[in-house]
């Protein structure tokens, strides 16, 4: 996985790697040790108190009675200002404006905590293709030549092979399809290794999955989904946030929440006049 720092993460170079290279990059130096510790403490508190949350790609774990060893914490924006700082970091915003268009939005920000002994996920691709295991429900000809998703993992615990660092197949983003057993995912996969504070940024059509945590410590990360402005997001974040958060949201946060994009709109009740076009 090609590595950048906060100073060297040139948007053009990162976008080229996401589209035409391995499909994933690591960026170091975006967040302080204090921010990482604060985010981790909040996630640990919420995941200890309420472990029963929706999750994805954990069918085998559910069948084996181990699903509680992976714990999600949703709606992080409402749980601490540190998560707003992570979601709207200027370096990430610059890269994603180049990758997804200047008015891109955020589709989800959540935590994924895998406890020691937690099993891995099935290899998959992410939203808006997360249910591409049912390709007949998607348009014919859908492909990965232009991005409709980017994923960010802010690493909070060491991501090692033992702790279950995310596995991915470099180059798999060039062909949009759900991986099968014949693809030998685990034989071809590399790992998104990193230290607390590092960020793994990847194109969500890259085949990937969390791996089993065989270490003696938790494996925590903040997972952020970014989308073009017109793609339907996974979480209805404005509905889950208090009005006070909306009222004080920065311009970047308003963009991320989709508040700057009016559609869908009841056009019969919209202001009269020409609403779209160059002039």
Residues 63-76 have pLDDT tens digits of 556 667 888 999 99
Closest CA to 201 of 42, 39, 19: 19
pLDDT at position 159: 97
Note the pLDDT tens digit of each residue in 148-198. 999 999 999 999 999 999 999 999 999 899 999 999 999 999 999 999 999
- CA torsion angle for 125, 128, 133, 134 (degrees, to 10)? -170
Residue 32 has pLDDT above 90, yes or no: yes
| pLDDT score for 190 | 98
pLDDT score, position 56: 56
- pLDDT band at residue 267 using 50, 70 and 90 as cut-offs: confident
**Across 65-74, 128-137, 220-229, 255-264, which has the greatest mean pLDDT?**
220-229
Q: What is the pLDDT of residue 120?
A: 86
CATH 1.10.8.870 fits 2-269, yes or no: no
* Bigger pLDDT: 226 vs 49: 226
What is the pLDDT, as a whole number, of residue 264? 87
- pLDDT recorded at residue 55: 55
- Computed over every residue of the chain, the mean pLDDT equals 92
Distance in angstroms (rounded) separating the CA atoms of residues 68 and 111: 14
Q: Which of 42-46, 47-51, 164-168, 269-273 comes out lowest in average pLDDT? A: 47-51
- How far apart (Å, rounded) are the C-alpha atoms in residues 200 and 194? 8
Indicate whether 47 pLDDT > 60.
yes
At residue 54, the pLDDT reads 47
Give percent above pLDDT 90 in the chain.
Answer: 79
pTM score, whole prediction: 0.91
Reported as a single tens digit per residue, the pLDDT across 91-123 is 999 999 999 999 999 999 999 999 999 988 899
Cα–Cα distance for residue pair 126/210, rounded to 1 Å: 12
Q: What is the pLDDT of residues 14-25, one digit of tens each?
A: 999 999 999 999
pLDDT, average across residues 78-85: 97
User: Pairing relation of β-strands 219-227 and 105-114?
Assistant: antiparallel
Give start and end residues of each alpha helix (H) in 107-169: none
Give pLDDT, residue 63.
57
Query: Does the pLDDT of residue 62 top 70, yes or no?
Result: no
Q: What pLDDT is stored for residue 186 in this prediction?
A: 96
Mean pLDDT to the nearest integer, 71-89 = 96
Q: How far apart are CA 223 and CA 87, in angstroms?
A: 10
From residue 67, give the alpha-carbon distance in Å to each of 51, 119, 228: 10, 8, 32
């Amino acid at each position: 996985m090609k590595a950048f720092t906060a100073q060297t993460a040139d948007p053009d170079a990162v976008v080229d790697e996401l589209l035409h290279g391995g499909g994933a990059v690591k960026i170091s130096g975006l967040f302080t040790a204090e921010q990482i510790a604060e985010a981790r403490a909040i996630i640990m508190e919420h995941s200890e108190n309420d472990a029963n949350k929706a999750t994805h790609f954990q069918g085998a774990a559910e069948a084996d009675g181990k699903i509680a060893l992976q714990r999600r914490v949703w709606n992080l924006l409402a749980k601490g200002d540190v998560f707003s700082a992570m979601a709207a970091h200027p370096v990430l915003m610059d890269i994603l404006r180049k990758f997804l268009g200047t008015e891109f939005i955020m589709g989800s920000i959540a935590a994924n905590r895998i406890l020691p002994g937690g099993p891995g996920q099935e290899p998959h691709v992410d939203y808006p293709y997360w249910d591409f295991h049912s390709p007949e429900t998607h348009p014919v000809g859908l492909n990965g030549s232009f991005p409709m998703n980017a994923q960010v993992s802010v690493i909070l615990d060491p991501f090692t092979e033992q702790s279950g660092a995310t596995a991915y197949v470099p180059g798999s983003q060039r062909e949009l399809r759900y991986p099968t057993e014949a693809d030998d995912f685990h034989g071809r996969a590399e790992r998104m290794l990193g230290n607390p504070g590092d960020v793994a940024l990847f194109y969500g059509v890259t085949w990937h999955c969390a791996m089993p945590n065989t270490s003696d410590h938790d494996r925590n990360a903040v997972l952020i989904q970014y989308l073009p402005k017109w793609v339907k997001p996974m979480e209805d974040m404005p509905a889950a946030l208090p009005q006070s958060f909306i009222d004080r949201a920065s311009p970047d946060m308003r963009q991320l929440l989709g508040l700057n994009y009016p559609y869908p709109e009841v056009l019969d009740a919209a202001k009269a006049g020409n609403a779209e076009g160059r002039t």
